[in-house]
Structure 1
Amino acid sequence: MPHHLLRGHVALVTGAGSGIGRACALGLAEAGATVAVTDLNPDTARQTHELIAEQGGSSAAYTLDVTEDSAWEAVLNDVRATFAPVIVLVNNAALKASVAGDGGLLDTPVPVWDRVFAANLRGPMLGARRVLPDMLEAGTGSIIMMTSTSALHSVAGFATAYSSAKAGMIGLTRMIAATYGTQGVRCNAIAPGVIMLGDDTASQEAFRESSGGLTQRPGRPTDIASTVVFLAGQAGEYINGQVLVVDGGLTTHMPGLSKKARA
């Protein structure tokens, strides 16, 4: 990936301490951006910052609870004073359904719903509100929302709050794009499919079995990172208000029918 694509850009990635967020931070730094690496866990944020330094990139690590507006304000003030205003925002941090205890609607307590929405929809909204003034003043900016194929395709009895919040992110994406696109700010969403952090044989085989062999392989964090870099830079400058599904084609199939068709 060329190192000059995002030179002079300051990017902020939430949930950048691991997984997709870490890959996005590394990818943006490799493309030349200065990256504000943020995570609720200060140790993992620092580790990502160190990895960027090892590859010759520029970054700083911050602890950020995305659900707190005052935390956004403090981090962005420091980034602005230390580097420059944020021109690329990647709203990646999320509270996963499996962690929150998020199941079917009747099985999901209201406090769980509120926690999931706070992290997965309130957080991205707060981030967008805080970066938009600087982007509008600069006349340019790219906000990237990490939604999910769960927002587009339901799994019965699982992740009701998560799926609903991720669908809300798509609505927020389109509203931001429609409202501020004419002033140079783009807002798009990425809907990852199955992204596996490990590459062990057992995990690969489990994916192939569960997916019915509908794609060649599970996704990798770098698949999402390269899409983020594309949307952040000049190559994606005519894309606004869109949802890019990055899932290897998995959700183009109806698994039950696809299996019968191949039988």
Structure 2
Amino acid sequence: MPKQPLQGRVALVTGAGSGIGRGCALALARAGATVAVTDINPRTAQQTHELVQAAGGTSASYPLDVADESAWQTALEAIHRDLGPVTVLVNNAALKASAAGDGGLLETTVEAWDAVVAANLRGAMLGARLVLPDMLAAGNGSISMVTSTAALHSVPGFATAYSSAKAGMIGLTRSIAVTYGPQGVRCNAIAPGVIMVDEDPSQAAFHQSANDLLHRVGRPSDIADTVVFLAGDGEYINGQVITVDGGLIARMPSLSNK
């Protein structure tokens, strides 16, 4: 039988209807957690729930707009009733770096800034704030903030709001870690590099050219495995930014031959 380090734990994953979030839900269920699958799209959340069930895991799906505090409260009431208190949280839901109106600062609209920050930073804050009481009561908890390598380096004229919100998640991570670590709650940020979340051959070519150090693209499972490790065996890791990018930001392109 495979090792199940999260047996008996309830894990909540935001943005779990596709991509990295779906990968995290499946991996957490394989590790023994009961998974609350949440997404702003109830249909894709249900699809992930069905995939977890088909793989032999335990889960339930819930609609959730992470930027809406009342939506969080409604979802958590249902999760507490159906599954129990949450001691693993994966703050993954986000508007993408390609969101309309998010470019260089002079090109970024205030509307785009507000929408991106609401989904990517306010949503993570609300999730942590509202789940922390469960973790403090249990005396343990793991929060994973899915940030981005865009928080660590920049592309000229690209995704100012996204990069700023993702950098804000790192500050939030460290604040939670040092404040609540003594009470058993750990909080870490995971910074994915280029992750391919579909099978479009044209996208595969783009991703390969963007991240060719390991001769493959990043996969949702690369992030999901890190989430599971942090929630289980990584019990002495707190307040860290873990970059999962195949070495992307380690390279200095201007001094490299490729």
TM range (shorter): over 0.9
C-alpha change, 1:210 and 1:248, in structure 2 (3 Å) is closer
CA distance in 2: counterparts of 1:145 and 1:65, whole angstroms: 17
Matches within 5 A, 1:96-175: 96-175=96-175
Larger helix share, 1 or 2: 1
- Please give the secondary structure, in 1, of the residue aligned with 2:98: helix
Q: Does 1:83 align with 2:83?
A: yes
Q: Is 1:16–1:22's contact at 8 Å kept on the other side of the alignment?
A: yes
Q: Which amino acid aligns with 1:109?
A: T
Contact kept? 1:148, 1:192, Cα under 8 Å: yes
Distance 1:98 1:185, change over 3 A: same
Supply the distance in 2 between the matched residues of 1:20 and 1:105 (Cα, whole angstroms).
Answer: 28
For residue 242 of structure 1, what is the amino acid of its counterpart? Answer: Q
The code of the aligned residue for 2:128 comes to A
CA–CA distance in 2 between the matches of 1:117 and 1:209?
29
Q: Note the aligned Cα RMSD (angstroms).
A: 1.4
- Aligned partner of 2:234 in structure 1 is 236
How far is 1:202 from its partner?
A: 4.3
Alpha-carbon distance, 1:218 to partner:
1.3
Q: The residue matched to 1:81 in structure 2 has which SS? A: helix
C-alpha deviation, 1:2, in angstroms: 2.7
Identity %: 69
- Per-residue deviation at 1:210? 3.9
Alignment of 1:1-263 (within 5 A): 2-199=2-199, 202-211=202-211, 213-233=212-232, 235-259=233-257
- Name stretches of at least 5 consecutive residues in structure 2 with no aligned partner: none
Q: CA deviation digits over 1:12-42, x for unaligned, max 9? A: 0000000000000000001110000000000
CA distance in 1, matches of 2:35, 2:213: 36
Offset from partner CA, 1:31-75 (integer Å, 9 cap, x none):
110000000000000000000010011000000000111111111
Q: For residues 198 and 83 of structure 1, what CA distance do their matches in structure 2 show?
A: 31
CA distance in 2, matches of 1:69, 1:12: 16
Secondary structure of the structure 1 residue equivalent to 2:103: coil
Is the CA contact 2:195–2:207 (under 8 Å) kept in the aligned structure 1?
no
Given that 2:190 and 2:244 are in contact with CA atoms closer than 8 Å, whether structure 1 keeps it comes out as yes
Distance 2:204 2:61 in 1: 32
Normalised TM-score (structure 1): 0.94
Q: 1:97 to 1:202 in 2, by over 3 A?
A: closer
Letter in 2 for 1:259: N
Q: Distance in 2 between matches of 1:159 and 1:201?
A: 24
Q: Which runs of 5+ in 1 are unaligned?
A: none
> How many residue pairs are counted as aligned between the two chains?
258
Contact kept, 8 Å, 1:36 with 1:61, in 2: the verdict is: yes
Q: Which amino acid aligns with 2:250?
A: T
